Amino acid sequence: MAPSMRHDEAFKILATVAPADFLGAFLPEVLARRGPPAHVVAEGSEVLPVLPGAQRSRFFDVALRFSWPDGHQQIILLTEHWSQGRAVQAERVAFYTTGLMLRHPGVTVVPVLVIADDRVQVPTGLATSLDGVPIFDLRFRVLILPRDLLPRWHAAPNLVLAVLSALLPDLPAAERGHRAIGLVLRSPGGTTLLYAALPLVENFASITPDVRPWFHHLLQQDTTMTTLLDYLKAEGKAEGKAEGKAEALVDLVRAGVIPPAAARAQLQQMHAAGVISRVQLDASLAALP
């Protein structure tokens, strides 16, 4: 994955690759009660306008709308990320939340704050009152990555949480990536989606070209994760030519190793990062079964 690709772009790809896991990462009780959603729609960025005078988030702002076949009320899961807890703007989250409510009347919008540090207390909502009478009260879900992510994954292994663990600042980049891949493989469905998850882990862990050889050395030396197929996937992602990577994706789909949707998402990401041309993208997509 090209270093120029931002975390918010990688996060949106993660949301499309594993939407049920995305729901399970932030609203596990809904997934447990209702089961996997039948349809997932990613809301366009125009639904989340930038507040006047506010800088756009450098990371990810993602809103996914989930629906179920049995008629359960639709849910929009809105995630907002801050690298520093002190930078959280509760008013901005409220602005985005109410904007989505206006766009989709009757749909429940659940705002989730994903915070990359645990040094300050983060607001869990925004409330106003008049003479002690509540006027407005909005509650947020809050995920503090250094404090909450690994305990939450150990309580209920989840592919999205596994990939996001690469963001934790507690280890050097290669070690963070190595740990994240291990968690991916131990998550339900992780082996199937490993090839799609690998470039996202590299992005979140900030695996640069000079670090990548050590990262893949760690994968190769780890007897808990290095089946020949797993390592060949990692080796091909890091060292193969662009054409070979695209062809390998098609071959893995034909062999039943990864689903077509994951391959399409990976090919789109490779094109967005400038790894393959539009011609190569179109040819690879056409070759998928």
**Residue 53 pLDDT class (50, 70, 90 cuts):** low
Which tens digit of pLDDT belongs to each residue from 157-195? Answer: 999 999 999 999 889 999 999 999 999 989 998 887 887
| Contact in structure between 177 and 215 (CB atoms under 8 Å) | yes
Question: How sure is the predictor about 52, in pLDDT bands with cuts at 50, 70 and 90?
Answer: low
> Helix, strand, coil shares of the chain as percentages rounded to 5?
50, 15, 35
Burial of 44 (0-12, 13-18, 19+ CB in 10 A): exposed
- Give percent of the chain with pLDDT exceeding 70: 80
Please tell me which of 62-66, 118-122, 258-262, 263-267 the model is most confident about, judged by mean pLDDT.
62-66
